[in-house]
Structure formats: C-alpha cells, structure tokens
Amino acid sequence: MDFENFFDSALTGLQDTGNYRSFNDIERHCGNMPRASRYCVDGECRDITVWCSNDYLGMGQNPSVIKEMQYVLERCGAGSGGTRNISGTNHYHVILEKLLAKLHGKESALLFTSGYVSNWASLGTLASKIPDLIVYSDELNHASMIEGLRHSRCEKRIWKHNSPEDLERLMREDDPNAPKLVAFESVYSMDGDIAPIAAICDVADKYGAMTYLDEVHAVGMYGPHGGGIAEREGLMDRISIIEGTLGKAFGVLGGYITGSERVCDFVRSFSSGFIFTTALPPAVAAGAAESIRHLMDSGTERLRHKNRVNEVRRQLDRVGIPHLENPSHIIPVIVGDAKKCKWISDLLLDSYGIYVQPINYPTVPVGTERLRITPSPLHSDEDIRHLVSALSDIWSQCALARVAA
C-alpha cells in the first residue's frame, strides 16, 4: 500500500469539506489576559485577543496559582517520577484528591491526567467490570464518554438529549434486575444548555441506577463554592459519580472523579487508564489545588464573568447577530456552514486580531457550524465593543442573516 498517498487523500477529503483543522500558533501573555501573540505563517508575530479559551475565569494566570506552582516546582522538581503505584504518588496529589472530594461533598476522589482520560477510563472500567451493566447515555455526551463505553463493549442505550422521559421509556423496557448506570453532562459545551439533573436522578432512582455526571464545563463556574451545577441545585448527594476537569475553569491540567470511597477505590484498582500511566507533575496538582481553594472562597471571578457574558449577549442583540439562547456562559453564534464559518474566523483573526476558533463537524452536527464565544472576567468593555463591531462588519460584508433587535 502507498501509505503516504492514503494519508494525503484522507486529508484532502477533510479540506474539501472545510473540516480540516488548522492550529493557531499562539503565545499567551501571563498577566495580560485575554491578550496573546500569534506566530503567523509569514514569520511575523501579531498581538491578538483570545475569545475562545476554556480558561473561563483566567485562573491559569492567577498570581496565587502561579506562585504555588513555582514553589512546588522548586520544592519537588518537574515530574512526578512514576505511576501512582510505583513511586509517583506525591503528597500534592493526596492533598488535591482530598480537596476534590470536599468540593463535591463526596467521600473520595481519584485523579487522572486529563478529563478525557477520567471519563474514558472510569466509564470504560465500570461498564466492562460490572456484570451485565446497561449504560444509558445522553445522545450528546462528550467523545470521551462515548469512547469509554465503546471500549467496554457494554449494553448501551442512547437517550434523547436532556429528556428524562426518553430515558424512562428506555429503562422501562429493560430487565428490572439488570444493573444500570445513567451517564450525562451538566453544561453541554457546544449549545451551552443545562441538563435537568433532578428529573434525571428521579428516573435513575426509580430504576435503581447509578448516576455519572460530567461537570467539566461547570466546575469552578457554578455553585457557591464552584462545585458545579449539582452544587448550585443542591443535588450533589444524588449523583453517584461526579467527574470534572482541572484544565478549564481551574486553569491547569488534569481530570478526576469523585464518589464513594469504594467506587473510587474500585476504579483505582481496576482501571488500566489510571494504573499504567505517569502521575501528574506535583506542581500541576498543587496549582490546581490552589485554584480550587481560591474559587471555593471567592465568588468575585464568577460574578464578573457573568457580567461579561451578559454584556456580550446584550451587544450582540443590539446589532442583531444571532446567538443561541441558553442558561450558561457559552455564547454560540451559529453560521451553519463549515467553509463560511472558517472564513469568518480567518477574517476575524487576520483583519481584526480577534481569535474565535470555528467549531465544525464532528464536534457539532453538519449545518450547525458555529463560532463559540467564551468571554472571561478579563475582557474589557473595549474588547467587547471591538468584537461586536467586527462581527457586525463581517455580517454586512457577507450578507448574513440578522435577527430583529
């Protein structure tokens, strides 16, 4: 086989449909968020404003987080030096796991190298090791959950997005004695909608199912201590396993699950994706812990963030740029065409110094390609004005539909 030729034609296929992903080579400026430098192909370096970061609250540049990371870097060195089992469990991992359990009101927590790995490994392990388990998975669940379940080869039912009724319809049809697990997210990151957690738990309870909730886009962001939507709604004790990331609102890197001591111990003991990989660097664990502590005590960032999100929405409405209404912090501006979406994004970057990554298939369905705008507490009024007037210019230039103000 001509491998190079095969790779080439597969990549050309992506390019033809506008789904080829190009990276923007940027350097974030610590202490000057949301500013970054962009290394352009022409060799030049230009200043840009980032409008699509998942470091939602700017905690990746928080002075106390950085100070803590520097301190632990000096104290413990760069890496952890091993898997958790073989010399890699550092005191900072232990502290972080205790803190995560506390954040979610659970007995225990277990760290992974990323949120992706935590979903993939935890769901994969539970679904392959619990005999005859049936997993009920929301149709819009993240790729990491889908891949974990696929890998487990368990019985799987896909329920209509955010529909407890459809979940119940499927559960009713199955053997009442079969063990069951319901897997879903709180904030869905592409539409920014939020699951009806209480109603889903009611159905799960009725059929004796475990519940698994991905709060990746909600931890640090919602609830009085940043425990997520389940904390905000007083539902943490109704969820068997809460999963989260340390890489988005907490601004660092890593993933975790929290739950009963036994379920965490079970995953710790049987999950290949936990056991056979090097533990996170101690400085990373310490930085994440500092970020969590900060956001448990301080609501300032969340409040300011909400204010910025509302301000962007208000100004988009003023000029009639259509965006999805939702109860979260994510502002999707639907373009509905992969090539157009990429073209707008390129234009924003090249002509206005505004960086909003186009979101195309397979991350979202074909025909719903979008710009996903994520304001932060550090975007100024002037940043917002510049973004909205740039979008307004582009909307006029390519005669895109507006909505009545």
CA distance 15 to 3: 19
CA distance 120 to 115: 8
Q: Scanning residues 77 to 116, which ones bind ligand PLP (CB under 6 A)?
A: 114-116
Site for ligand PLP contains 55 (CB under 6 A): no
Please list the residues that pair with 245 across neighbouring strands. Answer: 255
Binding mask 163-192 for ligand PLP (x = CB under 6 A): ----------------------x---x---
Cβ of residue 235: shortest distance to ligand PLP, in angstroms? Answer: 18
Query: Catalytic: 248?
Result: yes
Region of 10-18, 212-220, 257-265, 324-332 interacting with ligand PLP (CB under 6 A): 212-220
Site for ligand PLP contains 215 (CB under 6 A): no
Cβ of residue 190: shortest distance to ligand PLP, in angstroms? Answer: 9
198: its two tokens: 């209480």
Site for ligand PLP contains 377 (CB under 6 A): no
Cβ of residue 383: shortest distance to ligand PLP, in angstroms? Answer: 24
**Which residue among 34, 58, 124, 247 contacts ligand PLP (CB under 6 A)?**
247
Strand order from edge to edge, sheet including 35-39: 26-28, 35-39, 45-50, 354-355
Quick count: other Cβ atoms within 10 Å of Cβ 380?
A: 11
Q: Scanning residues 113 to 132, which ones bind ligand PLP (CB under 6 A)?
A: 114-116, 119
**Which residue among 134, 216, 252, 289 contacts ligand PLP (CB under 6 A)?**
216
Which DSSP category does 194 fall into?
B
CA distance 104 to 242: 7
- Strand ranges (E), 18-176: 26-28, 35-39, 45-50, 108-112, 134-138, 155-159
Find the catalytic residue in 98, 106, 180, 248: 248
What is the identity of the amino acid at 390?
A: A
Nearer to ligand PLP (CB atom), residue 249 or residue 388: 249
Q: Is the peptide bond before 362 cis (omega within 30 degrees of 0)?
A: yes
Strand 354-355 to strand 45-50: parallel, antiparallel, or no bridges (unpaired)? parallel
Cβ of residue 219: shortest distance to ligand PLP, in angstroms? Answer: 10
Helix (H) or strand (E) holding 3: helix 3-16
Q: Scanning residues 250 to 269, which ones bind ligand PLP (CB under 6 A)?
A: 255
308: its two tokens: 């910025």
CA distance 183 to 123: 9
Nearer to ligand PLP (CB atom), residue 88 or residue 247: 247
Which residues belong to the active site? Answer: 248
Which residues contact ligand PLP by CB under 6 A? 114-116, 119, 142, 144, 185, 189, 214, 216-217, 245, 247, 255
